[in-house]
Amino acid sequence: MSARFAGSCVVTIALLCGSCIARGDSPAPKAAEGDWTMPSGDYASTRFSPLAQINGTNVGKLAVAFTFDTGVNRGQEAAPIVVGDTMYIVTPYPNVLYALDLSKPGAPLKWKYEPHPEAAAQGVACCDVINRGAVYWQGKVFINTLDGNTVGVDAATGKQLWKTRLGDINKGESITMAPLVVKGKVLVGNSGGEFGVRGWIAALDAATGKIAWKAFNTGPDKDVLIGPAFKPFYPSDRGTDLGVASWPPEAWKIGGGAVWGWISYDPQLDLIYYGTANPGPWNADQRPGDNKWTSGMFARDPDTGQARWFYQFSPHDLHDYDAINESILLDMPVNGVRRKVLLRAERNGFFYVMDRATGQVLSADPYGFVNSILRIDLKSGRAIYNPAMQPKAGRVTRHICPASPGAKDWNPSAFSPRTGLVYIPHINLCMDEEPSEVNYIAGTPYVGMDERMYAGPGGNRGVVTAWNPVLRKAAWEIKEDLPVWSGALATAGDLVFYGTMDGWFKAVDARTGALKWKFKTGSGIIGQPVSYRGPDGRQYIAVLSGVGGWAGAIVVGNLDPRDATGASGFVNATRDLKDKTGPGGTLYVFALPQ
């Protein structure tokens, strides 16, 4: 999407009749020249392409237009970025940034930029050495490196413009998220909740790389940038220095709450929205209290970083339910009244519709199997935990659903204004848990929980759900054998694209879920598909293939499938993955035959 159009409006949907699904009554922001400048596609995080050349009648003819080997066979979670005649790809560690020339056959290399991150950063990456993508803004490309740096690169030449260190790998900090540029500020957060880091989000001047503001997610109000403008909807989030008072003494300093997921921006309200990750350690007995401001989301002023409101999805998080998932910004009817809302398929298994001006929860419904939380109390906003599923020292608590990766992990949903549906790529896993006492040592794991994950009800480990946010129920659902760890893409051709961990790239009908096309790539797909218009005027679909991440750790880490606790218990759920796919690192780009 052209930078001048990115986020220029918020998608709206309207309910046409009581029995039909929500349908778009205005288009998503149009992608100028078919560009795709940020992983989310737009500031509203719809991941919707208005291109319709590829549709349900011809998608069966889709074929490979070209491929590109990244040279890094680790988890490929990034979204390709396209501006004009150039595609930009950032790899997992060592975070090489490639620029490909789309105006020439085979898209040859224009240039590459190598940031040379510190090798020691690989040791503090909890869940593979992944990177979730670059962002383009006004002639510059911005990337994050695993060792805690943000870099500005000249988009035309690949020359480094500036490099700013934000994280400290000696404390266990890394950066894996994709940055976002809002009003000339590059927004970045840290990873490392499993190492007892203190979570933060920072804004850098896009021209110079200088830090404009930095807000922590634990600690006193002055550090969290909570001031007079902070007006949370629920009383439990009101008070002075709750980021200290809701923790044991000094525990907030190593309390997690990292920012490794997605940021959305509403230019009308002039607010950014982002989620905060799990508190540390996972053993909740060691941190009595609500543990603010973790496992929730902030709305902030992008100019100053000052907090406007906060909502906590999982107070005193019991199960590692990081709240870092994407927020899709829509205007839609709620009980017959049009509201400015944000939609979240949250890790705790509930689909939230929230007022994005105030932080009020308007509805919250399970979109998968959930027994760890009984319900969301709309009056207080609090999750009502199931006492039978709370981990206790000295016992194994069995069949907790969803497991720690949640009903959906980081991999983003997509929204189509044509159908009014949210397309959720997610997982169906449960787990057994047993907490243990853990001590904090800087730069080492700070978890205190043994886990074993396995398939949830039905035996399938993955799901793609089309969710109607107005009717508050699923329109259709696809069950997949393996966890679905890729992002989703919706297009104006009424198609939804996603990948599977055994390497299939699929297109399904956006209205019915019927399979329309599939292609077997060389490795499992955990990347984010995008669509763009090439210099030749044709529509293309692009995705990176390369298994990895937390779900694919058994393959890229060559872990022993007999170790049920490997990769924090994920190995037990994907013992067979080595038999279905191998490591990879290839870009695949598809188009219709000429």
- pLDDT tens by residue, the chain, 594 residues: 333 334 434 555 543 322 233 433 333 333 456 999 999 999 999 999 999 999 999 999 999 999 999 999 999 999 999 999 999 999 999 999 999 999 999 999 999 999 999 999 999 988 899 999 999 999 999 999 999 999 999 999 999 999 999 999 999 999 999 999 999 999 999 999 999 999 999 999 999 999 999 999 999 999 999 999 999 999 999 999 999 999 999 999 999 999 999 999 999 999 999 999 999 999 999 999 999 999 999 999 999 999 999 999 999 999 999 999 999 999 999 999 999 999 999 999 999 999 999 999 999 999 999 999 999 999 999 999 999 999 999 999 999 999 999 999 999 999 999 999 999 999 999 999 999 999 999 999 999 999 999 999 999 999 999 999 999 999 999 999 999 999 999 999 999 999 999 999 999 999 999 999 999 999 999 999 999 999 999 999 999 999 999 999 999 999 999 999 999 999 999 999 999 999 999 999 999 999
Residue the block writes with tokens 């990456």: 125
Contacts of 168 (CB under 8 A, 6+ apart): 148
Token output for 244: 């200290």
- Lay out the sheet containing 530-533: strands in order across: 63-69, 586-591, 539-545, 530-533
590/472 Cα distance (integer angstroms): 34
Closest among 549, 545, 591, 412 to 489, alpha carbons compared? 412
CB 191 within 8 A of CB 147: no
198/186 Cα distance (integer angstroms): 20
Beta bridge partners of 416: 421
Helices vs strands, H then E, count in the chain: 3, 40
Q: Give the helix/strand (H/E) hosting 242.
A: helix 242-245
548/559 Cα distance (integer angstroms): 12
Catalytic residue list = 194, 278, 320
